[in-house]
Amino acid sequence: MRAWPSIDMNTLEQELERRRARHLYRERLVLDSPPGVEIRLGDETLLSFCSNDYLALANDPRIIAAFQAGAERFGVGAGASHLVSGHSRAHHALEEELAEFVGTERTLLFSTGYMANLGIVGALADRRDLIFEDRLNHASLIDAARLARAEVRRYPHADVTQLAKLLARAEKPRLITTDAVFSMDGDFAPLVDLHRMASKYGARLLVDDAHGIGVLGKNGRGTLEHLGLSIAPPVIFMGTLGKAFGVFGAFVAGEAALIETLIQRARTYIYTTALPPAVAEAVRASLRIVREENWRRERLQALVAQFRAGAGQLGLNLAPSLTPIQPVVLGGAEAALRASRHLRACGILVPAIRPPTVPEGAARLRITFSAAHEPAHLERLLQGLAGLATA
């Protein structure tokens, strides 16, 4: 990614023009409806295949009612950080319920997954430490290592052989960090091997399961459950609450000593206002639904299988993903933009994903599924994709 050379107005305008010329300029969409399968953008009604609301809970009336009741009881803001006066009974109850759900001693709430990752790494590592990270890690994990000023060694995506070589030469490995489900490709990290290597070399394994929690595993506990692993040392688990759970926030799960250390040392926990308690109440309602309504995960699995079969017949370049994240890799940024515009003309919203979010030459349509999608919606998507060759 090109560095910005200065901050005077002319230079900023020139840099923005260069981004436009390279088809990398980003624009926001202004929605006039709640998130869902069908959304409103001004005068358009579009079929959406780009949300991370995997279980279709973001507009669930039960969760909305819990949010409203929470606001009536606790107000609309926390008023302070958790360590001053902002830690409410709603926060405390949610942390206890999340710990029971994922099977750990304790959990700790953060405002976002980004803030959680920065807090974990900053609390556990500094310039004297070594951090090993997958080259396709989420930006929050990359930035966390940078801000900790630790020595960073990156290994090729999911390449456990290369990681083993790096660890064998390392004097004092501190952390191995990885997405569990990679957000742009939808594939799994080799967590069983990473767990083994972390144990062998005395490192902690930070697993960001933003796109697995709620979606994967028999009980929705995420990628670790799906792979038969528990959340116990060396694992440090981070899950988000704004994707499959449909609300907002994030949490870290682990042993009691880890959570107490984060309370004492994680700057992104200590120096920020707590989540509104009403949000915590909404997540508690969402958690009950995630635990009880397995049909949502089953619907997602069926949709993914149906899509991959149909896309295969069209000859589309799919990544090897078994999750609701189904990227269609198109190569150049212009090609991805053209494909996105074609689908929008068909009444379907799938924005183009371009560098630096993905590597150069790997621009794509990042298609995602929701438990609210119906087979008829999927057929309409496949029809739209079938027209890409002539778009």
Task: Give the separation between CA 239 and CA 242, rounded to whole angstroms.
Answer: 9
Nearest Cα neighbor of 213 from 128, 120, 104 is 104
Catalytic residue among 48, 111, 183, 370: 183
**pLDDT value at position 82?**
98
Identify whether the C-beta of residue 120 lies closer than 8 Å to the C-beta of residue 266.
yes
Q: Does 299 lie in the same domain as 253? A: no
**pLDDT on residue 319:** 87
Q: What is the DSSP string of 303-331?
A: HHHHHHHHHHHHT--B-S--SSEEEEEEE
If asked whether residues 279 and 344 sit together in one domain, one would say no
User: How distant, in Å, are the alpha carbons of 122, 237, 312 from that of 177?
Assistant: 13, 10, 33
Q: Is 88 noted as a catalytic residue in this protein?
A: no
Q: Catalytic residue among 87, 138, 243, 373, which?
A: 243
pLDDT score at 171: 85
The count of structural domains within the chain is 2
Q: 200 with 281, same domain?
A: yes
User: From CA 302, how far away is CA 313, in angstroms rounded?
Assistant: 17
| pLDDT per residue as tens, the chain (391 positions) | 556 555 777 888 999 999 999 999 999 999 999 999 999 999 999 999 999 999 999 999 999 999 999 999 999 999 999 999 999 999 999 999 999 999 999 999 999 999 999 999 999 999 999 999 999 999 999 999 999 999 999 999 999 999 999 999 998 888 999 999 999 999 999 999 999 999 999 999 999 999 999 999 999 999 999 999 999 999 999 999 999 999 999 999 999 999 999 999 999 999 999 999 999 999 999 999 999 999 999 999 999 999 999 999 999 989 889 999 999 999 999 999 999 999 999 999 999 999 999 999 999 999 999 999 999 999 999 999 999 866 6
Q: CATH number for the domain including 219?
A: 3.40.640.10
Q: Is 377 an annotated catalytic residue?
A: no
Q: Residue 1 domain-assigned?
A: no
Residues 277 and 318 in one domain: no
Query: Do both 301 and 268 map to the same domain?
Result: no
Q: Do 48 and 103 fall into the same domain?
A: no
Q: What is the CA radius of gyration of the chain?
A: 21
Give the residue from 277, 292, 307 where a domain finishes: 292
What integer pLDDT is reported at residue 172 of this predicted model? 82
| Catalytic residue status for 211 | yes
pLDDT score, position 1? 52
**Can you give the CATH number for the domain in which 366 is found?**
3.90.1150.10
Domain endpoint, select from 249, 268, 292: 292
| Whether residues 107 and 229 fall in one domain | yes
Please name the residues in contact with 10: beta carbons below 8 A apart, sequence gap of 6 or more.
Answer: none
**Rounded-to-integer distance, Cα 206 and Cα 237, Å:** 6
The last residue of one of the domains, among 276, 292, 308, is 292
Fill in the amino acid letter for 10. Answer: N
**Does 3 reside within a domain?**
no
Whether residue 185 sits in one domain with residue 284? yes
Does residue 5 form part of some domain?
no
- Which structural domain, as residue segments, surrounds residue 181? 61-292
Question: Would you say residue 9 lies in a domain?
Answer: no
The residue from 87, 91, 138, 211 that is catalytic is 211
